[in-house]
Structure 1
């Protein structure tokens, strides 16, 4: 990295949602959750791709963001959803994005792991 390169402050949040009471096979619900999460985060959706595996089956999807991505994979038969939020810049509300998805999917339990990513800064996740 050159001395003149601006710092890159990235945050990567992994979330496991267990005991979801919302219908995780509902592709419309999953799409709304991703779009709303991006909006709450203050991110710009460039594209949104979803795939439904069939009646009663899960949904996988990604919101491609100007600021990185939000992805989801659901297993309705287990009431489980796995999410991946990667956003650059402290101005983005990654916790608010997760809260929005939680509100949509109604999990009984949420487990998260935060990963600092970036260069040119000494403290990324606080």
Structure 2
């Protein structure tokens, strides 16, 4: 699938894959990776898909996955927002 291949393209280690196809169209699914997940919810009747690429650490490049997905879905438009999640700055102990 495009989502699994996007995870691999980004350098992620795929653990589990679960997708549900809706009738008559659309899909929701998640690719669980060692570094977190990729998720999709699609509305083909609207020509729209919402994708979340969540990675931890610096070994996986989430933008490689985003670009792969955009290319292979042949998206005419793509809007992305990068969100820093988790512990952004580690607290530093003051030396007295």
Q: Structures share a fold, TM > 0.5?
A: yes
**CA radius of gyration, larger in:** 2
Tell me how large the CA RMSD over aligned residues is. 1.3
Structure 2: 5+ residue runs without aligned partners?
91-96
Alignment map for 1:1-126 (pairs within 5 Å): 32-55=1-24, 57-119=25-87, 121=89
How many angstroms apart in 1 are the aligned matches of 2:62 and 2:21?
25
How many angstroms apart in 2 are the aligned matches of 1:47 and 1:113?
25
How many angstroms apart in 2 are the aligned matches of 1:120 and 1:109?
30
Structure 1: 5+ residue runs without aligned partners?
1-31
- Pick the structure with more strand per residue: 1
Q: Displacement, 1:116?
A: 0.5
Q: How many residues of Structure 1 are paired with residues of Structure 2 in the alignment?
A: 90
Q: Relative contact order (alpha carbons < 8 A, sep ≥ 6): 1 or 2 greater?
A: 1
